[in-house]
Structure 1
């Protein structure tokens, strides 16, 4: 039986035969004073990706561990199943179309996390590259870089003002143990995971470039639906995600919140109470939090007044299929779904 490794690298694969070799090589080139394992889960690729994985599995049996799904089980299920197979104390994530460019990435991150138990996640900056692996300019990246922060970032994530590039991260496996039991919440994998972890642990931004995110038409990590379909999928899962995150935060948080933090929690509670939800027990548990996080009558009345005024300004930009989008905008602000 294989001994547990210090760190597990999770790699999802689906029809990335043109890129996966570089992804795997970037893991194998890591210089560490501890053992790692590379867990690759192929989601029934049809383009030769499986053959490449098998070659590396045969060449590096002590490091590369592969699973070949007989059917495409979906990205969320593939994500969760791969995490559950990790034996490492730490987990790093790398999609099979991206790659790491710093051979000391994992060593630097593990050294930091070993020395700073109060931090659960260490992440870095990344380059944006094209199909050939050449750096390209992506205007949105400057905006996302402005959101790189360290410390307690739960409320930054709650108001969608923080950004964590998955391929740059290294985090403690113990922090997602309970979250893995809620498989239905992993629709937007990173969104749920980072919200959950940040409710009980700090994040550290290591100011260096260690990774390369490849932008092309079939990115593993990008949502490939748009418009109404995207919104309907988001709507189905967002209630469960936000309600579980709020309830989990309420359970684990021990510090006194600022007025601003109370207000953010209260906004999310209002959004959850407005949504139609058949699970009365969850709805009741959320409702009881109104009294704990109520930010005061002055703020509440000001919130109603401001949002009603803004309603007419934004109405013509809301798709006709989604009046719920308007309510969510009024209560919680714009929703960002793009992630690396």
Structure 2
């Protein structure tokens, strides 16, 4: 596959080539009203993308029943009508939740609506602007999880497609073979370790997982960290999904706004502290100090004046309730010293080059 010339239309079959509902169900073993896997999809104003996501769900070839639950958060661009169209064609598989009023603006996360409705033993996640690329994606992940009862999550590499630059690259590729990824690797990458559309995990302890980060501005990092802390994380080397970057209305596009970015850093500092308080009984939870310090650095570097920076530092560290402040400070100072050293070496090298010229 040529990543530079990735054609999304070639990755999933068109509607005319999709199997009918009867053909999909025919291959299933077991009761269709007791799905093995629940596919959860949150969408809002994804009219240009949602059909690709739905097609990628429907092309899954499995011997077990699955359900597709789509939460449309009062879209205004025609997304709702697209979801309704497919729900009418696949009424026993697709279960739409269509809101008249946007719930996210009221502080209600889509995932908190979707989780209670999931009947499957396993959960697979894909947002409305992403898609899957392999017909046996969830079948592979199901087999991997069934073979390892210690595993809490299974994921794979992905293709990241930049909607602005119209180019792709392979991301989250840890190995050429199936292997267990240590929790510290997932935690320290701050949510960039596992593409959301690659997540596949057991439908267990969901309430506790949601409560562990109820005040967080995003859920990906905390869900990934919780799953990594509570069991083994199995990695499959095949890229089986596309993550759209800078899609219209997406999180990555919103982060271009500096004011929103600053507020996001501040909220993440508080959320990681609260999350640590809820999961510090897990063996590897101490690794959460690293992403905490990352967001502290990002927040502090907004301030150019030393006095303003110091004031902001004391304000942020003083609100920490669960981390040991002196450990956070030590790590932060070490990180800042490293950055200053690199900058100093760079400046000296530039001056030396100019002198030689």
Structure 1-normalised TM-score? 0.71
> Of the two structures, which has the highest relative contact order with CA contacts closer than 8 Å and spacing of 6 or more?
1
The residue that corresponds to 1:185 in the other structure is 215
Q: How much has 1:83 moved relative to structure 2?
A: 2.2
C-alpha contact (below 8 Å) 2:198/2:240 kept by paired residues:
yes
C-alpha contact (below 8 Å) 2:181/2:234 kept by paired residues:
no
Aligned with 2:258 (options 227, 249, 262): 227
| 1:197-255: CA deviation from partner (whole Å, max 9, x where unpaired) | 11111111101121122345415453513213212123124322x223323442133xx
Q: Which runs of 5+ in 1 are unaligned?
A: 317-340
Secondary structure in 2 matching 1:24: helix
The residue that corresponds to 1:336 in the other structure is none
The residue that corresponds to 1:210 in the other structure is 240
Q: How much has 1:314 moved relative to structure 2?
A: 8.4
Aligned with 1:145 (options 169, 173, 186): 173
The residue that corresponds to 2:25 in the other structure is none
Q: How much has 1:72 moved relative to structure 2?
A: 1.8
The structure with the larger Rg is 2
Q: How much has 1:109 moved relative to structure 2?
A: 0.5
* Number of equivalenced pairs: 290
How is 1:182-331 mapped onto 2 (pairs within 5 angstroms)?
182=212, 184-218=214-248, 220-222=250-252, 224-225=254-255, 226-240=257-271, 242-253=272-283, 264=287, 276=316, 283=321, 285-287=322-324, 306-307=334-335, 309-310=337-338, 312=340
How is 1:5-24 mapped onto 2 (pairs within 5 angstroms)?
5-24=35-54
The residue that corresponds to 1:335 in the other structure is none
In 1, Cα distance between equivalents of 2:242 and 2:231: 26
Secondary structure in 1 matching 2:240: strand
Could you say if the C-alpha distance between residues 191 and 268 of structure 1 is closer, same or farther in structure 2, counting changes exceeding 3 Å? closer
C-alpha contact (below 8 Å) 2:254/2:260 kept by paired residues:
no
Q: How much has 1:175 moved relative to structure 2?
A: 4.4
C-alpha contact (below 8 Å) 2:157/2:237 kept by paired residues:
yes
Aligned-residue CA RMSD (Å): 3.8
Aligned with 2:111 (options 79, 97, 114): 79
Structure 2-normalised TM-score? 0.68
Q: How much has 1:169 moved relative to structure 2?
A: 1.9
